[in-house]
Structure 1
Amino acid sequence: MLSFINSIVLPLLAAAIIPLLIYLFRRGKTKRISFSSLRFLKSLENQRIRHLRIYQILLLIIRILFVIFVVLAFARPAIKIINIAGDSGAATTAVIIIDDSYSMTSYAGAKTYFDISLEAAREILSSFTEKDYVYILSSESGFRVQSFPVQRNLNLPVKPVYGLLNLSEQLEKACEVFRKNPNLNRELYFITDNRINQHALIDSLPVYLHTRNVVKYVVKIAADHPTNNLSIDTAIIATSLYEINRPVTFEIQLTNYNLESSASARLNLFESNKRMAMTDLLIESGSTGSVKLTYVPRKSGQQLIHFELEDDDLSADNYYYLNFRIPEVLKVLYTDQPEGGLLKTAVQILSRQTVLDIDMTSYASWQGRQFQNYDLIVLNDPPVFQNQTVNRISEYLRQGKNLIIIPGENITPAQLNQAVHSWTGERPTGELIHTKAVDQYFTLDKDFQHSNLFDPAFVQKDKAIELPQVYKYFKMINPKDNYLYLTNGDPLLSCFRDKTQKGSLYIFGTQFKPAWTDFPFKGFYMPMLYRLFYSAGYSTENLSIYKAGNRARIPVANSSSSAQVEIIPPQGQPYPVDLLSSRSHVFVSMDIPGHYIINADGKMADAFSVNLNSAEMRTPYIDLDEYFLNAKIVKSEMLKGDSLRKARTGQELWFIFVLLALIMLLLEIWLVKLIEKRSEDT
C-alpha cells in the first residue's frame, strides 16, 4: 500500500493541469493568412499533419507526467512491507532521544528550542499505539510511554540540564532498549537544535544501529546558531593576594556566537547579589574577548562573586560564579630562641594589630604543638632538625601548608640542606656570604617593590624608599621563585615546593639582627613581614569551582567531625550531611550553576561555585547528516504523526519518481526537436 511521508505537498498535483491549459490556450489562437490560390497546398500530405498532432498530444502528456512525478518525489511516497504472518501492523520498538543540553534553552520567538522539542516528541508519540514499545531518553532520565493514544498536552518529565550531552552514552542506552524489546519495526528519533559539540561523542555510531535495520530520524528544530548570544566563558582572579580594603581584579573572557554582527552589552559584577562594578563592552562577530573588573572587599570571610550579562537569546551562559575567602584570622606558630630579638618584637606587634594570630614559643617546647592547627609555621634561627621533627614538618607540608625558615648561626648550610632535601628534594642553601669590610654592605634591588607580593604595600609607587643594607646572608641555589634580590643578583627571599607540590618552603637568607642587616630600622620592615606571613599563611591557589552536571567529592573546611553540616544549593531545600561517615568530605550532585553554601552548626563554613561547561557552544559542531548515515533528516515543522504512522515499515520510492521525472524531461526535449524537424519538412 502506497503512503506519503510528506503528504502536505500533494495538493500541488493540481499544477499538472497547467500544461493542458497552456496547450488549449495556444491552440485557440489561430492566425488567418490570405492566399491567392490553394494550389500550393495540394502537395501537403495529410499523413504528416496527423503525425504532428500525435506528437503534440504526446508532448502534452509528457509535460503533465513531469509535473506529477516531481510533486510525488517531494511527497516522499513509501510502499508498506507485507507481513508474512498476516499482521498488517507489526509492533514497533521506538526510542526518542531528546537533546536536553543548555543550548536548547535558546529562544526562538516566544518559545525555547526545548519547548519545541517537547512538541515534536508529542507529535512522534501520536503515531504509536498500545502494542508499540516507546522509550524516551534524556541525560537525567529514561522512561517508557505506556498510555496511548497520547494527548497533545501530555506532560513529559524531561527538563534541560546544564551539563554536556553525552550522545554516545544515549545511543548505547537506545541499543540496549532495542535488544531487550526485539519487535519487527525499530525506530530511533533524535530531536536536537543541531548544536552538538564534538565532545558529546566518544565513538562512532554503534554498530547495532547499522546492522539491525533501525530506521533513524534526526529531527532538527533549529538550523543555525542563536542570532544573538554573548556568553561568559570563564573568569579568573588576577590578584594574587586577597585582603580587606584592597582591590581585587578579575579577568573575564567572553565569546560572541553571532557570526553576522558585533555584540555590545553591559557586564556586571555582584558580590552576595549586590552590584559592585560594571562595564560596557563590544565583542566582534564570532570572536572572543576579555575585560577586567575590580572591586574592593569591605569584610572578611567568604566572598560570593558572580558576573552577569544582559539577557539575549540564550540566557543560561550569561552568568559566571566564583568565590574566594578573605581570612578572619590566620593562625601562625612562631618559634624562636629564648633570647628573641628584634624579629620577636615585630611579631608581637603583628599579632596585636593584624589578622595574624601568632602563637609564640621556643624550640624547647614547640614539639608539643599540634602542627595541623596552624596555617603557617615560622622558624627563626632554628637548631639542627631531629628526624622526628623532619617527619612532622614533611607531613605538615603534604597538607598544603607552608613553612618559613630564617636560618642563623645555630645551623650550618649542610645541616639545613639535609632537612630541606627531605621535604623538597633540593639542597638550596649555599655558603654564608660576608662583606669584606665594616663599611661595605649589599642592598636590595629596588625592583622588588613592583612584585606581586610587595606591590600592595606601597601606596606611592614611584616614591623612592631607603633600601635596607645587608652585611651577611646565606646564598640560595636554584629556588623555584624569588621575591627579594640583592643588587649583585643573589636572591634573599626564595620559595621551594615540597615533593608533593602541595606545600611551600620559604627561606629568608638573612637574620634580622644588626650584625646581619639593618632591615628592622627601615620603614619597609613591618609591611614586608606582614605581607610575607599573610601570603605564606593563606593559599589562594585552589578555588572551589566546578562544572555543572557533575558529581564531586567536596572537602568541608572549618568544621569538626561532630558539627551539624548541611548543603544549601542555589535552588532547592538544604540537606544535611553526616561528616562521620564521609570523613570531612561530602559528595554533591552539582545539577545547576550557582553558589553552593556549606553550613556547619548554622554558620557558613565554606562554599563552592558551579558553572556551565562552555565547551558545548564551541565549534565545530558534529555533522549530524554524516554521523547518522542514511538517516531521515526532518525539520520539526514538517513532522506529522499521521505521516509517520502511514510510512511506518515502508520503503521510500521518491528516487524512482525523480528518475521518472528526468526521463520525462529527456523525452520532452527529444519530441520538441522531432516536431521542429517535421515542421521544417512540411
Structure 2
Amino acid sequence: MVFLNPAVLLGLIAAVIPILIHLFNLRKLKKVEFSTLLFLKELQKSKIRKIKVKQWLLLALRVLIIVFLVAAFARPTIKHFSLGSASSTAKTTAVIILDNSYSMSVINEKGSYLNQAKKNAKELIENMQNGDEAAVILTSYPKSGEQTLTSQKPKLINKINETKISYISHPLTDALNEASAIINNSQNFNKEVYILSDFQKFNFPEKIDTTEMGKSLFDKNTRVYTFAFNGKDVQNLTNKNLTVNNQIYEINKPISFTSTIRNNSKQIVRNSILSLFINGKRKAQASINLNPNETKQVNFETTLKESGFLEIISETEEDDILQDNKYFAGIYVPKQISVLVAADNPGDTEYVNTALSNNLSDYIKLKSIKLTQINAFNLKQFDVVIIIGFKLLNNYDRIRNFVNGGGNLILMPGSNSTLLQFNNLCKAIGLPSASAEVQINHGSQQPMLFDKVNFKHPVFSNIFQKGSKPQLDSPEIYHFFKTEPSGKGKTIISLIDKSSFLSEFQIKSGKVMLFNAAPVLSWSNFPIKGIFAPLMNKLIFYLTSKNRTAKSVIAGNKIDVNLSKVILPQIKVVRPGKQMEFLDIDLEERKKFLDYDRTDLVGTYKFFSGDKLIDYADVNINPDESVLNYLNSKDFEKYINKLHFRDRIISLNTNEDFRSKIYQSRFGTELWKYFIILAFILAIIEMMVSKSSKKDMD
C-alpha cells in the first residue's frame, strides 16, 4: 500500500491526543469521604475490571478514528504491481497514437470520430503533471520523425489541433512500433500508450513482422489504454477502381471505362447515381443497386473529344464516408504525334509516308530523313521512330538507349537489307535473330501468305465493322526474313511457315514492332493492300498510347517518376488542387527514376521538365480502409499479445470519467472511501461504548 498524499500523514500526530487525555485522567485523583469499609465492598472486582477494559477500548477506538480519517485524506492505494523504491511523485511518459485515417471521418451524434478522438487526446495532454512528457503519433505518418517527446503542452495540443483526416492508411502496428521505440528509451517509471482509433480490422494485418520488436513490444512498466470510436451503422459505397478499357486513344472515337463499386453497408442500396467526369465535365452516369457487401462493375462509354492530359473521375453520391467516393484515372492524348522515318533508301519510305500522311487532322507529324542523318537528331523528341533498312546504320547504341529509355520503335527491312544487317541490329537491341532469308520466285513458286491474325490485339480495334467477323485479305509475300518471337515477344500476324510477319516486343521501358518484310512491292504487295494504311496508323496510336495511362498509386506510397525525358535540372510537380512543387535533380547522375513520396492527396500528379510533361500518376485511396469491420477489446488484446505484450490493457469509455480510471490504474486502487466508512463505524461504536461506560461509572 502507498499513499498518494503522504504529507497528510503528519496528521497522525493527532492520534496522540486521546492517549494524553487518557493518561491525564489517570493522574487526576478524586477524593471520596467514607467512614467505613462498606463502600469498598460494594465495588466488585469484576466491575472495576470491566470499566478499565471499556476505557482502554474507548482509547483504542478514538485513536483508530483519527488514524483512519487522516489516512483517508492521505489517499491510501493498493498497487497492482510493485513500484520498488519509486514514490508517488514518479513522472510519466505518454505516447498518444491518434488514428486519422479516413474511416475516422464517420459522424455520429457527438461529431466525427476524429474530432472526438482529438478532444480526448487534448484532455490527456491537459492532465499532464509537471515533469511529465508526451508524444503524438499519427497513423497516417507513423515514422515522420516529428513525434519527439516534449513537456510543452501547447506544442502537443497544437499538433492535435492541426490533425486532419488523411487519405493515407498504415497498419496500426507501424504506430505501435514507433511508440515502442520512443517509450522504451524513456527513463521515467510510469509509461503509458494511448490508442485512439475506430479499431478497424484492416489496420491490424494478420501477418505481423516482429523482427523489429525484440522480446517485448513494451517493457513491464508500460500500460496500454484504448479509446474505441465506432458503433454507428454506416452507409457507404466505395469506389474501388476505375480502368480505361481502350489501349488506343483516338479523337472522335469511342472510349470505354469500367468502374468497380462496393457496398460496405449493412443495408441494400437502391438507385444510387454513379457519374463519370472527364476534365470536370460529366460525360456519363448510371443508376446502381447493391446488396450489402456486394461488388459490381459498371461500364461507361463516351466519345473522346479532347486531347492533352485528361483527368477521369468516377464518383458516387455523398454518404457517411466522403473520401472513398471518387476514383481517379488519367490518360494523355497528345495533340500531335511526332514520327521520325529514317531509311537507307529514301524510296523505301514512299508507302509508309503516304499511309501516315493521309491523316486528315494532321494528327501525325512526319519527319523523313536518310538513315545516315539519324545521329543529328535527338530521338527523345519523337514519339515514334521508324527505321527502314539497316545498311547505313552505324550507331546501334543510340537506338538501343532510345528503346531502353521508353522509346517506341518500328523496324522494317529495307529493299537492300541483308540477313546479317538485320540480325546485327536485332542483337544490339535485344531481339531474337532471324533464322533465314527467304526469297520466292514470282512466277514459278507460290507466294507466302498470312496464317493467323490476332484480331484481339488493339491495333485492329475500330478497323472492322462492329458485329461482323473480321477478315483480312492476305498479301502475297515473296521476300522476307524468317523470324520468331522465341519467348521474348508475341506474334500479331503469322505466316503459313509459322514465322512472324509482325511481332511485338517489350524491351525494358520501350516497345518494338518488328516486320519481317520491307514495305516495297519487290518484297510483297502488302503496301498496296487495304489494311496497310489503317494498320500503320494504328501502330502509331498504339505505341504512343502504351504509356498514356497514368500509373495508379495508393496514397502514401511512392511514385516512380521516369526521368528518361528530362532536359532541365529542375522538375516541376503539379499536385492535386494545382499545388506546385519544384525538385532539383543532378543530370550528371543520370538517374532513370525519381522516388516521389509526397502522395498525401488523392488525384493526379504531373511532372514537367520545363513545359514538357514527362510523367504523371494517379493517387487513390486504399479501398480496404472502407471495409468497416472492427476489433472489440478482447480481439485487440489477443492481437497485441502477438506483439509480445502481455501486460495490462485498459479500455476507456469516453462517456465516463476516464481520467480517474487512468489515475487509478497508474497508482492502484484507492481505499480512502473504505477508510472513511471504517472511521464512521468506529465512531458509532465509540459512542455506544462511551454511553455504556458512563452508566457503569454511575
**Shared topology, TM-score over 0.5?**
yes
**Offset of 1:87 from its aligned partner?**
4.6
3-state SS, counterpart of residue 346 of structure 2: coil
- Say which is worse superposed, 257-266 or 578-587, in terms of deviation: 578-587
Distance 2:229 2:430 in 1: 58
* RMSD (Å) for aligned C-alpha atoms: 3.9
Corresponding residue to 1:643 among 651, 655, 661: 661
Q: How does 1:382-461 map to 2 (within 5 A)?
A: 382-383=390-391, 386=394, 389-424=395-430, 426-428=432-434, 430-432=436-438, 434=440, 437=443, 440-444=446-450, 449-460=455-466
**Structure 1 counterpart of 2:640:** 628
Q: How does 1:256-405 map to 2 (within 5 A)?
A: 256-259=263-266, 261=268, 265-336=272-343, 337-340=345-348, 342-347=350-355, 349-350=357-358, 354-383=362-391, 386=394, 389-405=395-411
- Is residue 216 from structure 1 mapped to residue 224 from structure 2 by the alignment? yes
- Say which is worse superposed, 478-487 or 354-363, in terms of deviation: 478-487
Q: How does 1:72-91 map to 2 (within 5 A)?
A: 79-80=78-79, 87-91=87-91
Summarize deviations over 1:195-234 as a string: whole Å, max 9, x none. Answer: 042349543876455533211112211147x632221122
**Offset of 1:275 from its aligned partner?**
0.8
Structure 2: stretches of 5+ with no match in the other structure: 4-75, 642-647, 672-698
Distance 1:397 1:2, change over 3 A: same
Whether the aligned pair in 1 keeps the contact of 2:338 and 2:382 (CA below 8 Å) is: yes
Summarize deviations over 1:439-471 as a string: whole Å, max 9, x none. Answer: 844554686555321122234552876724213
Distance 1:366 1:579 in 2: 29
**Structure 2 counterpart of 1:94:** 94
Whether the aligned pair in 2 keeps the contact of 1:350 and 1:356 (CA below 8 Å) is: no
**Structure 1 counterpart of 2:62:** none
**Offset of 1:320 from its aligned partner?**
0.9
Distance 2:620 2:255 in 1: 21
Distance 2:455 2:198 in 1: 54
Distance 1:394 1:602, change over 3 A: closer
Distance 1:438 1:514, change over 3 A: farther
Distance 1:260 1:490, change over 3 A: same
**Offset of 1:385 from its aligned partner?**
5.0
**Offset of 1:342 from its aligned partner?**
4.1
Distance 1:538 1:507 in 2: 18
3-state SS, counterpart of residue 459 of structure 2: coil
- Is residue 192 from structure 1 mapped to residue 200 from structure 2 by the alignment? no
Distance 1:487 1:101, change over 3 A: same
**Structure 2 counterpart of 1:505:** 512
Whether the aligned pair in 1 keeps the contact of 2:271 and 2:287 (CA below 8 Å) is: yes
3-state SS, counterpart of residue 162 of structure 2: coil
**Offset of 1:620 from its aligned partner?**
7.9
**Offset of 1:327 from its aligned partner?**
1.3
Q: What is the one-letter code of the residue matched to 1:416?
A: F
Q: What is the one-letter code of the residue matched to 2:369?
A: T
**Offset of 1:136 from its aligned partner?**
2.3
Distance 2:243 2:603 in 1: 16
Distance 1:496 1:148 in 2: 62
Q: What is the one-letter code of the residue matched to 2:128?
A: F
Distance 1:650 1:509, change over 3 A: same
**Offset of 1:559 from its aligned partner?**
6.6
Q: What is the one-letter code of the residue matched to 2:120?
A: A
Whether the aligned pair in 1 keeps the contact of 2:101 and 2:167 (CA below 8 Å) is: yes
Whether the aligned pair in 2 keeps the contact of 1:91 and 1:183 (CA below 8 Å) is: yes
**Offset of 1:302 from its aligned partner?**
0.5
Distance 1:486 1:556 in 2: 39
Whether the aligned pair in 2 keeps the contact of 1:428 and 1:478 (CA below 8 Å) is: no
Percent sequence identity over matched residues? 22
Distance 2:490 2:156 in 1: 68
**Structure 1 counterpart of 2:173:** 168
TM-score by length of 2: 0.72
Distance 1:596 1:514, change over 3 A: closer
Q: How does 1:221-236 map to 2 (within 5 A)?
A: 221-223=229-231, 227-236=234-243
**Structure 2 counterpart of 1:677:** none
**Structure 1 counterpart of 2:129:** 129
**Offset of 1:78 from its aligned partner?**
7.7
**Offset of 1:577 from its aligned partner?**
4.0
3-state SS, counterpart of residue 135 of structure 1: strand
The size of the alignment, in residue pairs, is 574
Distance 1:560 1:639 in 2: 63
Distance 1:652 1:259 in 2: 45
Q: What is the one-letter code of the residue matched to 2:620?
A: N
TM-score by length of 1: 0.74
Distance 1:552 1:540, change over 3 A: closer
- Is residue 592 from structure 1 mapped to residue 604 from structure 2 by the alignment? no
**Structure 2 counterpart of 1:113:** 113
Distance 1:608 1:534, change over 3 A: same
Distance 1:125 1:341, change over 3 A: closer
3-state SS, counterpart of residue 347 of structure 2: coil
Distance 2:625 2:657 in 1: 26
3-state SS, counterpart of residue 576 of structure 2: coil
Whether the aligned pair in 1 keeps the contact of 2:104 and 2:113 (CA below 8 Å) is: yes
Summarize deviations over 1:491-533 as a string: whole Å, max 9, x none. Answer: 32111233xx322222222333334333333333221211123
Distance 1:483 1:466, change over 3 A: closer
- Is residue 252 from structure 1 mapped to residue 249 from structure 2 by the alignment? no
3-state SS, counterpart of residue 537 of structure 2: helix
Who wins on radius of gyration, i.e. which is larger? 2
Whether the aligned pair in 2 keeps the contact of 1:189 and 1:217 (CA below 8 Å) is: yes
**Offset of 1:647 from its aligned partner?**
4.0
Structure 1: stretches of 5+ with no match in the other structure: 4-76, 654-682
- Say which is worse superposed, 190-199 or 408-417, in terms of deviation: 408-417
3-state SS, counterpart of residue 456 of structure 1: coil
Whether the aligned pair in 1 keeps the contact of 2:249 and 2:255 (CA below 8 Å) is: yes
**Offset of 1:334 from its aligned partner?**
0.8
**Offset of 1:429 from its aligned partner?**
5.1
Distance 1:450 1:539, change over 3 A: closer
Distance 1:147 1:384 in 2: 74
Summarize deviations over 1:7-36 as a string: whole Å, max 9, x none. Answer: xxxxxxxxxxxxxxxxxxxxxxxxxxxxxx
Distance 2:156 2:402 in 1: 65
3-state SS, counterpart of residue 161 of structure 2: coil
Distance 1:363 1:599 in 2: 31
**Offset of 1:408 from its aligned partner?**
4.3
3-state SS, counterpart of residue 289 of structure 2: strand
Distance 1:394 1:620, change over 3 A: farther
Distance 1:566 1:588 in 2: 15
Q: What is the one-letter code of the residue matched to 1:273?
A: G
